Amino acid sequence: MSTPVPGHVPTLQLTAPTVLVTISGPDRTGVSSRVFSVLSRHDVEVIDVEQLVVRGRLVLSVLVTEPADAAAFSEDLSSAAAELGLEVEIVHGTGDNRPRRVGRSQVVVLGAPLRPEAMAALTRGINQLGGNIDRIVRMARYPVTAIRMEVSGADPEALQSELAAIGHDHGTDVAVQEHGILRHAQRLVVMDVDSTLIQGEVIEMLAAHAGCEEAVAEVTERAMRGELDFAESLHERVAQLEGVRVSALDEVFASLAYTPGARTMIRTLKRLGYRFALVSGGFTQIIERIASDLGIDYFAANELEIADGALTGKVVGRVVDRAGKAEALRDFAHRAGINVRNTVAIGDGANDLDMLAAAGLGIAFNAKPLVRDQAQTSVNVPYLDAIVYLMGITREEVEAADAADDPH
């Protein structure tokens, strides 16, 4: 081997001879240490290493430069593998791993359950788009199965469009993100509230106090499907709340139920420096309390007019509608000093579509068909913390962080 020159980083030529060593079999303590100890007897450089353990079965691959004595190299590794009760494969070739092709993406698949026919269809779709799967790892095994695939050679936008359709056909959620440096930057998560962060619709809960819940719910449903202008529908629904006592707001807040996994998602991502915002077609009198309860950084919502201790049936100021939600997202990003490309938006209704489109990653969460079909990606499992898997965080990491923070 040549003597290294200070300040110079040698580059392995693509035509340089290399050896790929693959060890496989039952996992046991000390395998990696033993393999590298054997390799240290030979004048080689380590170029690449990958190890995987699934249900106690180990696969360890090490790419090294060509040894001077190939026969002794092979004999030493074969002997060590036999002593460990493992199998070894030694393949001689040239160069480093082939260069990653353009269009690198992270593809996350969520299933409950995740069926092999879904994975077959998705991997076939990746191949048909010219993609190659460079790596596959499990992100979570419960309450949903989450699998991440690192893909190169295919256009991320084409992947998202094709794989989302395949996933929908197989009852599986798929999210595609470009695998670039911005993926590691600080992010801002902007969430819708009604039927996203919380279960149910606040305006319908208030309508129950006015005896018109059914009528208001019907208008809400049509607005969320995109059949009615949101601002007009809001004024129509709020008008029916005239005379409802302010105390009803306290009762509604006390009865709110967060979507399963909401606190876990927020707690986990805030540990990593993420910021959060709420943007809602609901009402500040409720949203402000939710933001305080969950430690949310920013919020925007509509304000109910109150007079003499009762609702007047009107809203104060400009309505936070479909366009207003997208505008709020951009404003929150500016205030947080975060690139809009590094925002994540989560919503379920037609009035969330502009916000989902404006965000770097727009996620339709248990959304209406119109929204699911137009969003960049969709999550149709009932757990909001499934979002963290799309951020590259595993279930094991979440649980380890929670355990570390638990004084008991």
Active site amino acids: 192, 194
The rounded distance, in Å, linking the Cα atoms of 163 and 44 is 42
Q: Which residue has the tokens 């009402």?
A: 283
Among 302, 297, 338, 335, smallest CA distance to 191 is for: 297
Do 255 and 290 form a contact (C-beta atoms < 8 A)? no
Calculate helix-pair angle for 70-84, 31-39, nearest 10 degrees: 160
Contact 232, 313 (CB under 8 A): no
Residue (of 334, 333, 374, 336) closest to 352 by Cα position: 374
In whole angstroms, give the CA distance from residue 66 to residue 89: 15
- C-beta atoms surrounding 43 within 10 Å: 12
User: Residue 337 to residues 266, 283, 341: CA-CA distances in angstroms?
Assistant: 19, 26, 12
